[in-house]
Amino acid sequence: MIKTRMRLRRRIHFLPAAALPPGNHTAGNRSPVKSRPYSQSSIIFRRSHESEFPGRRCRSRIDLSRVSSQLLITDGRRTGGGERGEGVAGADGGDHSEHGSRLGSGRISSMDFHKASSYLVTASDDESIRLYDVANATCLKTINSKKYGVDLVSFTPHPTTVIYSSKNGWDESLRLLSLNDNKYLRYFKGHHDRVVSLSLCSRRECFISASLDRTVMLWDQRAEKCQGLLHVQGRPAAAYDDQGLVFAIAFGGYIRMFDPRKYDKGPFDIFSVEGDFSDANVVTFSNDGRLMLLTTTGGCIHVLDSFHGTLLSTFIVKPISSNSTLEASFSPDGVFAVSGSGDGSVHAWNVRSGKEVASWICNEKEPSLIKWAPGSLMFATGSSELSFWVPDLSKLGAYVGRK
Does position 380 have pLDDT exceeding 70, yes or no?
Answer: yes
Does position 354 have pLDDT exceeding 50, yes or no?
Answer: yes
| The 369-372 sheet, strands edge to edge | 71-72, 386-389, 379-382, 369-372
Residues 6+ apart with CB under 8 A from 220: 205, 206, 227
Residues 6+ apart with CB under 8 A from 359: 345, 346, 347, 348
In angstroms, rounded to a whole number, what is the distance separating the alpha carbons of residues 137 and 69? 18
pLDDT of residue 74: 34
Does position 280 have pLDDT exceeding 60, yes or no?
Answer: yes
Q: Is residue 221 within 8 Å of 186, Cβ to Cβ? A: yes
Sign of the torsion angle spanned by Cα atoms 12, 17, 18, 19? negative
In angstroms, rounded to a whole number, what is the distance separating the alpha carbons of residues 12 and 388? 10
Q: What is the pLDDT of residues 205-237, one digit of tens each?
A: 899 999 999 999 999 999 999 999 999 999 999
Q: What is the pLDDT of residues 69-100, one digit of tens each?
A: 344 443 322 233 333 332 222 223 322 222 22
| The 280-285 sheet, strands edge to edge | 280-285, 291-296, 300-305, 311-316
pLDDT of residue 137: 81
Mean pLDDT of 148-170: 92
- The model's pTM is 0.74
Does position 394 have pLDDT exceeding 90, yes or no?
Answer: no
Q: What is the pLDDT of residues 6-33, one digit of tens each?
A: 333 333 333 333 333 333 333 444 443 3
pLDDT of residue 136: 85
In the chain, the percentage of residues whose pLDDT exceeds 70 is 71
| Three-class SS of 162-196 | EEEECCCCCCCCEEEEECCCCEEEEEECCCCCCEE
In angstroms, rounded to a whole number, what is the distance separating the alpha carbons of residues 294 and 273? 9
